[in-house]
Chains A and B, each alone.
Chain A
Amino acid sequence: MVEATHLIEIPLTVEIPVGPQHPALHEPLLLKLHADGERVIKVDVITGYNHRGIEKLAEKNTFYRDIFIVGRVCGICNAVHANCYVRALEYLLDVDPPPRAKYLRVLAMELERLHSHMLILAVNAELAGYETLFMYLMKDREYVMKAKEILTGQRVLADYMMVGGVRRDIDEVKKSRILDIVQRVEERVKYYHKVFREDATINKRLRDAGRIKQADALAYSLVGPVARGSGVKTDARAHDKYDAYNEIPFNVITEDYGDSYARAMVRFGELYESANMVKYILTHLPQGNPVPDERKLPRRFPEGESYAIVEAPRGELTYYVSSSGGDKPYRVKIRTPSLNNIVNSAFAYVDQMIADVPIILGSFDPCISCMERAVITDLRRGVKYQVPLKELGGVKK
């Protein structure tokens, strides 16, 4: 029999559930905080309150019905979801859409990035307790929604992508109206950028909240504005150059510091880039017919598998489509950026104040409906020896 040599005493911690229904979170997600006083020691991210089984639904429906089903994975980024899936189908069929369709797809996706970034910047301000700024940003976001309505026919759910092109064309009147809206919104974005840089509330709450170092962003494979805010130059638009991104000039925006404020600044930089891209597309739109005749598209798909990447407003989104020959896919696998960013970023809350947790979560741009499709197993650290409480949560000083 082994004689005991150590007495292990673990100090009391408070377990605070944030969510699944919480005033700061707009979607159901449970962050289980373990706190030592006001400091967060450890966070468990628990999901599964919003599971809908869309991947299974996609297997049960035909390829074409799935275009509209995957668009409903996420309301904010529905055009990028549909675009990614449609491009995966085009790779299967070996179809290349006309240049005008490629430009119009990019136009729809960049309008979506505009309103998505404006939304999350507004939510950042709201979580910091600045509801006036939230209201003003949301008011100006509504103009972008109008531009999307002019282009696609509905202000939220675009249903704009189709195999071999887009579903409706744009004329000169619509072009000039969208251009007018984007120019107006860009002026407003410049003003809000100034507010974010100068305002006391925003600076005090967002600076130094949830800092992620570049090495951590790489090690936990974070994507999108969260990675770019930590100085990782990753952008699927730049390295994959799908659709018309090889012809439209744009810059990849990065910030080095990696806190919530840096992530907000990345989003502002991308707002300018998106507005410039929209203006470039509307002035350099190629001629031709972008709308395929949906009645003449092939109903059966050849056997094979394909993989498509798209840069959603929240980061890199990928679709894997496997076809066994027939009119239904054998498997559709969706890998969303939110799943990476939210589940892998639990380390960012550690050693922060409890009141900063919603702000940090908000700066990751969580999209719960995108990420609800996996069972997350929490591998707890084995507590076998006496360590400082902070080390238990994974803080290494």
Chain B
Amino acid sequence: MRPALIKEVIKGIFRKPATIQYPKEKTLIEPDFRGRQYADLKKCIGCSLCAVECPANAITMVKIPDEYVVPKTNARRIYPVINYFKCVFCYRCVTVCPTSAYLVTNEYRLASSAPIDSSQLSLSTTSKAGGA
């Protein structure tokens, strides 16, 4: 008996490396990869169902600041803020939403030293009253 892998190893020396040099090269990610998601405030009705159903308790319902325009359906003026450090990206909030208000992306690069949540992204979906 002899080492059987030797031919493969010699071939491998002349092949392109399998390792992706991540920060320099992009990792190929599927377009429907479960990445960062956030609520669209034009559709959200503030029903809190996503916060109730979240298995990781990552969603809290927060009051929308007064200067933002909110549709009449969201009478309580609250919206879900996802803490991405807690989120497990199961997309239960996306599938359980009665108005399909969640916007989904395949963004997976969420490493950060400061806490990150979805408030800025969600608020950017609506406009400020009086402003453009």
Binding site for B on A (CB under 8 A): 61-62, 64-69, 71-72, 132-133, 136, 139, 142, 149-150, 153-154, 157, 159, 167-168, 191, 194-195, 198-201, 203, 294-295
Contact = CB atoms under 8 A, between A and B. Distances in A.
A26 B17 CA distance: 26
B95 A294 contact: yes
- The binding surface of chain A is classed by DSSP as helix
Given A154-B89, A195-B5, A198-B1, A149 B53 contact: no
Given A195-B4, A199-B3, A200-B2, A150 B98 contact: no
B91 A153 contact: yes
A377 B8 CA distance: 48
Contacts of B90: 68, 71, 157, 159
Given A159-B91, A167-B95, A294-B95, A149 B30 contact: yes
Contacts, number: 72
Contacts of A159: 34, 89-92
B18 interface: yes
A154 B53 contact: no
Contacts of B92: 64-65, 68, 159, 294
Contacts of B29: 149
Interface residues of B, number: 27
Interface in B1-36: 1-5, 8-9, 12, 18, 29-30, 32-34
A294 B97 CA distance: 9
B95 A199 contact: no
B13 to A, nearest CB: 12
B100 to A, nearest CB: 9
5 interchain residue pairs of minimum CB distance: A200-B1, A68-B55, A65-B55, A199-B4, A159-B90
A110 B30 CA distance: 21
A281 B114 CA distance: 45
B34 to A, nearest CB: 4
Nearest to A64: B53
B69 interface: no
B88 A200 contact: no
10 contacts: A64-B92, A65-B55, A67-B55, A68-B88, A71-B90, A154-B33, A154-B89, A198-B2, A294-B92, A295-B97
> What is the interface of chain B mostly: helix, strand, loop, or mixed?
loop
A199 B88 contact: no
A61 B56 CA distance: 10
Contacts of B91: 153, 159, 167
Given A136-B5, A157-B88, A157-B90, 16 more contacts: A64-B53, A65-B53, A65-B55, A65-B92, A71-B90, A139-B18, A142-B18, A153-B33, A154-B89, A159-B90, A159-B91, A167-B91, A167-B95, A199-B1, A201-B3, A294-B92
Contacts of A203: 1
Interface in B55-103: 55-56, 88-92, 95-98
A159 B1 CA distance: 45
